[in-house]
Structure 1
Amino acid sequence: MFLIDELIALLAANLILSQALGTSTMFIAADSKKNMLATSCVITVFTTFGSAAAYFIDCMLPEPAADLRLLLYTAVIGILYVIMLTASYFVGRNWFADFRKYIHVSAFNCAVMGTLFTISGRAAENSSEFDLGWYISSGFEAGIGFIVAALILAAAYRKLNSAKVPASFRGFPAMLVYLGIISMAVYSLK
């Protein structure tokens, strides 16, 4: 039951626009199944490994230097970005040109940085219960929440961009209203 509650909470956090976690990237991902799968997987990798690095940053960073957290998180994501680009280049040079765009879109996405700060904030509230495993699992759950949110968005993407929707409302405005309604429904489950 605890896992279901956590998954619903992370899904709601990804969908509620007040936190704005990856909304624009979800629009890109919902365009096609290939884009959605690749972007979601790369974001999950970034949130998982970034959360592990955030654990070490949070453990080693003294309280008076907490303002450096943003700089250090950005540096970690930058290092992960370079590692993923390098690894994907050497693993498959023939599909590197297609895959690198997903790394570019995902690396400095607000879903990744928002996940690191959300996990860090939750750990700061009650530091006795949180360890490296909790940080990693929370980062992975946030990535899975992004995947589920992208699937929900993809379900309505074509219909909300069809000719049946008035031209002035078609596209981004319709998606924002749709996300708002879905996020209220999901948030009510908690």
Structure 2
Amino acid sequence: MFLINDLITLLAANLILSRALGTSTLFIAAGGRKNLTATACVITFFTTAGSTAAYFIDKMLPSAVSDLRLLMYIIVIGVLYVLLLTAVYYISRPRFEELRKYVHVSVFNCAVIGTLFTINERASMNGSSYDLGDYAAAGLEAGAGFIISALILTVAYRKLNSSKVPSAFRGFPAMLVYLGIISMAVYSLK
């Protein structure tokens, strides 16, 4: 059931927060199969690696200074961002310009930071039974939730942007209605 909750959370967070900032990672990913594959892989890397790092932050950070958790998560994501860009640069210099856009779009996605807080909340509800493997698995699960969300959007992307849809409703408004219906259907499975 956590996967369904994460799917709904990722859809809402990506559509509302990312669109408010002027970009929507899901729409970029849904634009093409190549975009979807690259973006999904990078986001899955960030959610999994970030969740693993969040385990150590959550264990080492005293509860008296738990307000610093957001800052620590952002620092971890920043470090992962620099490390991944550096690795991509040294591994594939000729394709660096092409590949770095996927890193940029993925790291500045609310799915990444949202995953860390979701996992932290789950761990606090389960007490001490949440270990490093659970954190990593939850990060991988969030990445899979993003992939499923992007696949759902990919199916509808072309049809909702076709000339058959009225121009005032085409694009983002049609996508919001579509996602609202899909979210209600998925939520009813709970």
Match of 1:93, SS state, is: coil
What percentage of residue pairs aligned between the two structures are identical? 64
Q: Is the 8 A contact 1:15 1:21 kept in 2?
A: no
Cα pair distance change 1:17/1:52, threshold 3 Å: closer
Give structure 2 stretches of 5+ with no counterpart: none
Q: What is the match of residue 163 of structure 2?
A: 163
Q: Is the 8 A contact 1:14 1:22 kept in 2?
A: no
Q: Which aligned pairs between 1:6-85 and structure 2 lie closer than 5 A?
A: 6-16=2-12, 20=16, 24-85=24-85
Q: What is the match of residue 145 of structure 2?
A: 145
Q: 2:151 is matched by which residue type in structure 1? A: L
Q: How many residues align?
A: 186
Q: Shift of residue 95 of structure 1?
A: 1.1
Q: What is the match of residue 178 of structure 1?
A: 178
Match of 1:162, SS state, is: coil
| Segment of structure 1 superposing worse, 124-133 or 92-101 | 124-133
Match of 2:124, SS state, is: helix
Q: Is the 8 A contact 1:13 1:19 kept in 2?
A: no
Q: What is the match of residue 102 of structure 2?
A: 102
* Distance (Å, rounded) in 2 between the aligned partners of 1:92 and 1:55: 31
Q: Is the 8 A contact 2:13 2:110 kept in 1?
A: no
Per-residue CA distance 1:41-65 (angstroms, 9 max, x = gap): 1000000000000000000111111
After TM superposition, the score normalised by the length of structure 2 is 0.92
Match of 1:186, SS state, is: helix
* Distance (Å, rounded) in 1 between the aligned partners of 2:17 and 2:139: 13
Q: Is the 8 A contact 2:14 2:26 kept in 1?
A: no
Q: Is the 8 A contact 1:77 1:108 kept in 2?
A: no
Give structure 1 stretches of 5+ with no counterpart: none
* Distance (Å, rounded) in 2 between the aligned partners of 1:177 and 1:65: 41
| Segment of structure 1 superposing worse, 22-31 or 83-92 | 22-31
Q: Shift of residue 8 of structure 1?
A: 2.9
Q: Shift of residue 35 of structure 1?
A: 0.6
Match of 1:128, SS state, is: helix
Q: 1:136 is matched by which residue type in structure 2? A: A
Q: Shift of residue 21 of structure 1?
A: 7.4
* Distance (Å, rounded) in 2 between the aligned partners of 1:106 and 1:6: 22
* Distance (Å, rounded) in 1 between the aligned partners of 2:120 and 2:139: 11
* Distance (Å, rounded) in 2 between the aligned partners of 1:126 and 1:30: 35
Match of 1:166, SS state, is: coil
After TM superposition, the score normalised by the length of structure 1 is 0.92
Cα pair distance change 1:188/1:18, threshold 3 Å: farther
Cα pair distance change 1:32/1:163, threshold 3 Å: same
* Distance (Å, rounded) in 2 between the aligned partners of 1:18 and 1:49: 20
